[in-house]
Structure 1
Amino acid sequence: MIEFQYKREKENILISLKTDSTQIGTFHRIATIIYALKMDILSGELSTVIEQGNEYTIDSFILQADDGDTTQAAFKLGMMMDSVFSKNTKFEEILEKLQIQEPAIATFFKETPEFIFSDLPERNQTCLYLESSAGRGLLYYVSRILMQNQINIHSATIETDFETGRAKDSFFLTNGSGQMFASTDLALKIRREILAPIQSNTR
């Protein structure tokens, strides 16, 4: 189930979507389609809510289309989101058709990035604050590593500082067992994997 809405605002696209898909990797699916369609997430909010005993993911984003054709881009995005969250379609098959090229990861970290993991006992969640150079594909890349490590994204705030060109994103997470993990080796592992492309270039 997915509810998708969009509207144009000047050169950008405002989208909102609601889905009953709340498993690990849900945001990565969304970020993948946005990246594949050559759009960039400028800002947004991710949240998980419970309505009448059912859990839903509710997200809203401001997107920028590379080619400037916001109407066509939004239409394609809606069609792809329907496919991604269809019970009859495997995400792996969609990925094969899209033939996604990896983003230029080193450009995200050309200036010193910040990765701060902190546990929030009152929420029983870990906050990951990420600040780095902004660019199309950053959230696709980071969300894939979180998914591969069985990290559940419960909510997030995505921001782009246009004066500095920096992404300033906060993710509220739990591990595969639903626990905080900032003080564990898992946080170190995620940091190491995210920074791996630039660390290998400095050796």
Structure 2
Amino acid sequence: MRFVLASASPARLAVLRAAGIDPVVRVSGVDEDAVAAALTAPAPGELVTALALAKAEAVLPDVDGDAVVVGCDSMLSIHGEVVGKPGEPEIAAKRWRAMAGGTGELLTGHAVVRLRDGEVVARAHDHKVTVVRFAEPSEAELEAYVGTGEPLRVAGGFTLDGLGGWFVEGVDGDPSSVIGISLPLTRGLLSQVGISVTDLWTPQQH
């Protein structure tokens, strides 16, 4: 049984490896805007879950044999507005000024697809919400952080496991979800498709 991660995220890969799973990586290349446009006024949780499922489904043609494919998507809800990756320095700085000293809800959608002999036999998907409490970086700190490029390419414009961790006061909920893949949620979804996560652990070298 292979574990296939439908994501290019190095953070998700690192979380899984630290938790005993060494996945095969397949990048989905899904047009996220097109998936979102196909939904009618989706709730934030519905949107991230639909994107996660689209990513998992997109890599299925490249997977054969017995496998479980996992797709993920993350977004940040600030003052009721759902945002993804800033992309531009100006946008990242503006978002940080808006969320500094406050809280945001990090939404992570997960989808699990089980294949047997290359054929889909089960699917499960859901999302998780984690509250993130942000510090108030000085203008000099914010300028330096945005200048690294890190916040431009991650959901919500921050990381918990990178440079952004200096500016996060705390997390109310599942920390792994904020990094990109919720271990508790993934374990539950695997169980729904008949897989025990312990069977996927890579044997440890002693």
Per the normalisation by structure 2, the TM-score is 0.22
Task: Give the alignment's TM-score, normalised by structure 1.
Answer: 0.22
Structure holding more helix per residue: 2
